[in-house]
Structure 1
Amino acid sequence: MRALRILLVLLVVVGALFVAADRLALHFAESEAEDRVRISGGSAGTTEISIKGFPFLTQLAASEFDRVDVTLKDMKTEAAGRAIRVGEVRAQLHDVKLGSGYSSATAARATGTAVVSYADLTAAAEDGVTVAYGGDGKVKVTGTVEILGRPISRSVVSTVTRADAHTIKVRADEVPGEGIPGVEQLVRTKTDFEGDIDGLPKGLELQKVQVTESGLEIALDGSDVSLTG
């Protein structure tokens, strides 16, 4: 009986050591991965990597992970030639395979969300244009134009849509023209716009845009998503 107890204790100790080694290796790998993530056409203030699944070491040995969560914060990129800040990008990557020497990683499929605040949209817009929440899933865009030498400011309620896999489009539902020819088109040159959200991990594309009180929430989806390069 004593020998059996000793054996059980040894098994517990070995198991605990394996778990500790596994978690230590996981922490080290996540830190290394955070330093290696590259964003095409953009940069991120901070990158967080969370590798799911247990044990980690067996997944590493196979160079394949069931799921990896990536969070990019304070991402800076461009839209329509203007700098734009994307507050946060969260992505869940599935079936992630490591490249030779662990220098690259590609996910078979991925989903996620990008968040852009109205303050950041305003900062990226043309001079004299502000963007705010308009209620009922709409945005309010205010622009200032010059008519007959006088500056005129107009606010419109606009719809935000996905134009394509990388582009969002903002268009006013209606522009009060006040009976003056050309006023509507002139105001639209300020209030209507579209822009590409570049800098996302390669393979990740825009699927849907939702207008919320705090900003735009952009649903992301993709396949063969690259974490580096």
Structure 2
Amino acid sequence: MIVVVSAALFTVADRVAVHYADKEAARLAAEKYGYRDSTDGHLDVSIDGFPFLTQAFSQDFDHVELDAGKFTVDTTGNAQGGYLPVERLRIDLRHVRVTSLTAREAEADLATGDVTLSYDALSGAVSRLAASGGSVHVSQAQGSAGQAAKVKISGTIRGRQGDGEGTVLAQGNEISLTVPGSAQPVATWRVQLPENTGFTEARSTPDGIRISLVGHLVNLGASRFTR
């Protein structure tokens, strides 16, 4: 009976500890990467595995999941009205080791995940940046390859009819959109990603642009200003 009670108490303590750790990790991620910068934005961190306390004492965690959405990113030049809402960001971290408790730093062997951008969000961003008072519609197109996703674009862009195909290019931690009739991107947005993580593939899907990311020996710090 004592063994059963002790096991139950340990389980409760373990779950309480992991709940607190999830909340604290989410707070630190928001502080560093800004994934919760809008009123309807969300950011959740889940530390998987049992017992959590054993992992915590060893400062080594098998699997940490980050799920964020409804936050915005700015253009690299901070263009007025150029903000781009991100529908969802998902990052899975494997074999996370705490390297400094005082600096709240950690390192993950592997990071995988994806970013989802809605066509409505892309349409709104391009309309604000280049439509000269009108609106531009961005939708799915066939022919995505590698880090370049094809999109259909319709509307007047900078005084010219811009119907045709455009390209969403994802490289490093930047996403750019090129419209018909222009060799230069209409905008480039930067997504704050963990160090040593970058985009690997972009696809045009019915639900939006899906961008895959991968990182190795990923450094996780406490503040975006120490990156």
Structure 1 length as normaliser, TM-score? 0.76
Residues 22-57 of structure 1: per-residue CA shift (max 9 Å, x gap):
111111111121112146564422210110111100
Q: Is the 8 A contact 1:66 1:95 kept in 2?
A: yes
2 CA distance for matches of 1:74 and 1:102? 29
2 CA distance for matches of 1:17 and 1:157? 60
Q: Which runs of 5+ in 1 are unaligned?
A: 1-8, 173-186
Q: Is 2:134 the partner of 1:142?
A: no
Offset of residue 160 of structure 1: 3.9
2 CA distance for matches of 1:37 and 1:21? 24
Tell me what 1:153 maps to. Answer: 161
Tell me what 1:3 maps to. Answer: none
Aligned counterpart in structure 2 of residue 217 of structure 1, from 182, 189, 210: 210
Aligned counterpart in structure 2 of residue 50 of structure 1, from 29, 46, 49: 46
Residues 167-190 of structure 1: per-residue CA shift (max 9 Å, x gap):
345456xxxxxxxxxxxxxx5139
Tell me what 2:138 maps to. Answer: 131
Q: Which runs of 5+ in 2 are unaligned?
A: 145-149
Q: Is 2:96 the partner of 1:96?
A: yes
Tell me what 1:62 maps to. Answer: 58
Structure 2 length as normaliser, TM-score? 0.77
Moved over 6 A (4+): none
Q: Is the 8 A contact 2:84 2:189 kept in 1?
A: no
Distance change (3 Å), C-alpha of 1:118 and 1:202: same
Q: Is 2:8 the partner of 1:16?
A: yes
Distance change (3 Å), C-alpha of 1:74 and 1:201: farther
Tell me what 2:111 maps to. Answer: 110
Tell me which amino acid in the other structure corresponds to 1:156: G
2 CA distance for matches of 1:226 and 1:211? 30
2 CA distance for matches of 1:121 and 1:225? 30
Tell me what 1:228 maps to. Answer: 222
Distance change (3 Å), C-alpha of 1:84 and 1:159: closer
1 CA distance for matches of 2:60 and 2:29? 17
Tell me which amino acid in the other structure corresponds to 2:59: S
Offset of residue 159 of structure 1: 4.4
Tell me what 2:27 maps to. Answer: 35
2 CA distance for matches of 1:169 and 1:192? 6
Tell me which amino acid in the other structure corresponds to 1:127: A
Offset of residue 117 of structure 1: 0.5
Tell me which amino acid in the other structure corresponds to 1:14: S
Offset of residue 15 of structure 1: 1.1
Q: Is the 8 A contact 2:48 2:64 kept in 1?
A: yes
1 CA distance for matches of 2:157 and 2:186? 15
Tell me what 1:87 maps to. Answer: 87
Tell me what 1:165 maps to. Answer: 172
Q: Identity of counterpart residues, as a percentage?
A: 29
Offset of residue 76 of structure 1: 1.4
Number of residues paired by the alignment? 202
Aligned counterpart in structure 2 of residue 78 of structure 1, from 54, 74, 92: 74
Q: Is the 8 A contact 1:38 1:227 kept in 2?
A: no
